[in-house]
Structure 1
Amino acid sequence: MTSPEEILPPDLLETLRGRAARYDRDNSFFAEDLEDLRSAGYLALFTPVEQGGSGLDIPAVVKCQRRLASAAPATALAVNMHLVWCGVAHLLARGGDDSLSFVLEEAAQGDVFAFGISEPGNPAVLFDSKTAAVPQDGGGYAFTGRKIFTSLSPAWTRLGIFGKDSSSEEEPRLVFGFADRSTAGISALDDWNTMGMRASQSRTTLLEEAVVPAARIVRHTPVGPHADAFVFGIFSLFETLLSAVYAGLAGRALDLAAEAAGKRRVQGEPASRDPHTRWRVADAAIRLDGAILQLDAVARDLESGTDHGPFWFPRLSGLKLRTTDTARGIVETAMQVAGGAGYFRGSEIERLYRDVLAGMFHPSSEDSAHDSMARAVLGPADGQ
């Protein structure tokens, strides 16, 4: 199996890191990074070797994403969405379901898969949709709705979307499919101007009777909570790979804190000898160590098919919550250790501080993570 260090060698990482500040300053898409990553085979990490990929498993891709995020967090966050779909295909294939085999094949051919799932005002996320999915002759569907945070917006070639088929009032269904970029009725707003993660260009996508043919409709699921393997795959890969990005960002912040401690002076001595600075850096390292241990354990359990029953969803949402909270705290520690220099616009720590705040806005939210764990431990609030 190819190692993360072979896929992302030090010289490539430094090239990516060298562009990150420019992408952030200009609020521009990471087009050059994407081409370098495509050339390195990064889009096909999950694709089997015999199909032209690296044949990596989930733990190995987690390590790759941590490594990439240590150099270019916004690039890693956007590529994450492509890797989620590839990871779902990988997870389903391990269980004997080849319905997404085309995702792995096309990823190896250079196609980029984007994540058109999030919708404004839809806290149910994967269990309901505000997008209409209207049945068409031949088994396809016409999708009309608004998707937000569509990372890779300038470059995707395939868009994974879902909507609600309400043609049966008694039993509405959720419909998942993949649209080509050439599909009529799909447009993107140029509305991405955020505090951080700017290079991801996660723009709003508008669907206006965008028809996905039957051959690209991959799943029908019920509205409301359920245990469909496809939906579990989306949720589990999203939370796990997202956590990998923020763990990688936190690791870079810890490195910068240690570097700053060696350069700054406290009462004439290197800050690395100051007991308060040493405690702060050590505390950050301890917190990061725990987050990575949990991340790696979840990745291994997903790959091996471990059955956590009703605790799978709360453990995944808890992983995301703990990792993003830990990363935010570590970046704040790095800011403290770096001193005033880290507060200036253009410093890497300042950019990481803005990037890490995005972790608060990804699913699962703090409230939904606690609700999920409460249901697993205490049962439903109404007792039924």
Structure 2
Amino acid sequence: MSVDFETRVTGAAAVRRVADLARDRFAARAAGYDREAEFPAADLDDLFTAGLLAPTVPAQSGGLGLGPLRHDTHTLWEMTRELARVDLSLARCWEGHANALVLVDAFATGPQRQRWFDGVVRRGEKWVAWSGEPQAPKPGEVRRFGTTVTRTADGWTVDGTKAFATSATGADWAVLLVSLAGPGGARHADAPESVLLLGCDLRHPSVTVDTSWWDPVGMRATASHVVHFDRTPVPAAWQLGAPGDYVRQGWQSAFIPHYAASFLGAAEGAYDYAIRYLEKQDKGGDPYVQQRVGGMAVDLDTARLWLAHVARLWDSGRTAEARVAGSRARHVVEHLALSTVDHCVRACGARSLVRPSPVERILRDLTFYVRHDNDDHLIATIGRAALGRDHDASFFKP
């Protein structure tokens, strides 16, 4: 495979290259990946070949040097938006890969950086960051999720399961967010200082994927299966940072608005379809259709402005403001994106929800993905912050 990492592109050129790939290749594959609930491997391979698979790896290590740690956040989010425009599941896989590499950049030692960044840049290795260990079972669910971590002479062993493990059948490495206090990972850990980040080679024979659980209404191609760890060894040299660093330093807040970039891209995909459909049907003269199109245009402009604002805060080093604004943007863009898709369906009618229309998939994917965080808890957290009360800006715990 010929890889174009020697001709590095950044800024608008990188966004254009992603947009071209999304339009010319990824859009045609999206429906098939969705039907089969299959990880979009060919899309990630194409991004690697184009020299685009290391967006948040520092430039001196061969990457594009994007993201909140590298003071070019907006370019990263624009690339994510272009992917989500044709396939929200693909955007989620990319997003998880990029965010995991931000954590490696933030915490890795010199030898870790050399090993892991080279694997991405030179060999196309794919990364994820997994925290999913829901502790409350749903009605009729008998299985339990969670991991335990045990100290060994050489490092750690991980036992148990992770759910909602995005890219489970396609990733090579994971940043595991686990708790030294037992099952619960990061989101359900009672003691934030117990949260540990471990680099894990997912190709180890002790790591297995259970594909029977992941049969959702949307986001099917994220392949977010249950992953089992059977005393999986993690060398001490693969630990990232110190216990509690992830929570103490508020890293989750850097990724929250990145989800919103994906929401926006999906909404833009619905808008693109609506404009083509309405022109084909010659419905542009209908005043009610005009209202719907106007609503979509305003929703999308508002979402873009919010994300550009939050990106500027991150890139100018105004971290505290960026964290607050990022949560607000995540909340606002969810509702703007859902409103855009609703306008599209109402303007185009029921045929827009009949395959092969992409709107049918966009509606399912977006409705599912915005559940990634509980918006009721999120907006309450924003309120607590505005009132000067204690609040959890990472996981929005009440």
TM range (shorter): 0.7 to 0.9
What is the aligned partner in structure 1 of residue 209 from structure 2?
A: 188
In the alignment, residue 228 of structure 1 is paired with which amino acid? R
Secondary structure (helix, strand or coil) at the match of 1:221 reads coil
Q: CA, structure 1 residues 307+164, in 2 after alignment: closer, same or farther (shift >3 Å)?
A: closer
Could you tell me how far apart the structure 2 residues matched to 1:122 and 1:331 are? 31
2:44 is aligned with 1:30: no
Counterpart of 1:345 in 2: which secondary structure?
Answer: coil
- Judge conservation of contact 1:188–1:203 (CA < 8 Å) in 2: yes
Please state how far the C-alpha of 1:65 moved relative to its aligned partner.
Answer: 0.7
State TM-score, norm by structure 2: 0.82
Question: What are the superposed Cα offsets for residues 30-61 of structure 1, whole Å, 9 maximum, x if unpaired?
Answer: 12112111111222112233422223322111
1:174 to 195, 201, 224: 195
C-alpha displacement of 1:381: 7.7
Is this contact kept in 2: 1:99–1:218, CA < 8 A?
no
Amino acid at match of 2:103: V
Mapped pair 1:252 → 2:269:
yes
1:228 matched to 2:212? The reply is no
- In the alignment, which of 358, 363, 387 is matched to residue 378 of structure 1? 387
Contact kept, 8 Å, 2:22 with 2:86, in 1: the verdict is no
Q: Which residue pairs with 1:126 in the alignment? A: none
Q: Does 1:85 align with 2:85?
A: no
What are the Cα deviations for residues 125-181 of structure 1, in whole angstroms up to 9, with x where unaligned? xxxx9532211113x1212232111111111110111222249x9997222111102
- Whole-angstrom distance in 2 between the partners of 1:245 and 1:187: 29
Shift of residue 317 of structure 1? 2.8
Structure 1 alignment gaps of length 5 or more: 124-128, 265-269
Change (3 A) 1:25 1:165: closer
1:279 aligns with 2:275: no
TM-score, scaled relative to structure 1: 0.84
CA contact (8 A) 1:75 1:200 kept: yes
Once the two structures are TM-superposed, the CA of residue 194 in structure 1 deviates from its matched residue by: 1.5
Q: CA separation of 1:355/1:171 partners in 2, compared to 1, >3 Å: closer, same or farther?
A: closer
Counterpart residue number, 2:396: none
CA 1:170–1:371: 2 relative to 1, 3 Å: closer
Once the two structures are superposed, residues 343-370 of structure 1 have per-residue CA deviations (whole angstroms, 9 ceiling, x without a partner) of: 223311111111111233212x113212
Equivalent position of 1:17 in the other structure? 27
Structure 2: runs of 5 or more not aligned? 1-8, 67-71, 138-144, 183-189, 392-398
Match of 1:296 among 300, 308, 327: 308
Letter in 1 for 2:305: L
* 1:223-253 deviation line (CA, Å, top 9, x unaligned): 9xx8622xx22x1342122111111111111
Identity of aligned residues (%): 24
Residues 373 and 37 (structure 1), Cα distance of their counterparts in 2 relative to 1, 3 Å cut: same
| Partner of residue 324 from structure 1, selected from 334, 358, 383 | 334
Q: Aligned AA for 1:179?
A: C
Alignment match of 2:120 (pick from 92, 98, 107): 107
Alignment-mate amino acid for residue 189 of structure 1: D
Query: For 2:308 and 2:193, how far apart are their aligned partners in 1?
Result: 38
Q: Deviation of residue 206 (structure 1)?
A: 1.8
Number of residue pairs the alignment of both structures matches: 359
Q: Secondary structure at the match of 1:22?
A: helix
Structure 2 vs 1, CA of residues 170 and 32 (structure 1 numbering), >3 Å: closer, same or farther? closer
Q: 1:152 aligns with which of 145, 148, 167?
A: 167
Would you say the 8 A contact 2:19–2:82 is kept in 1? no
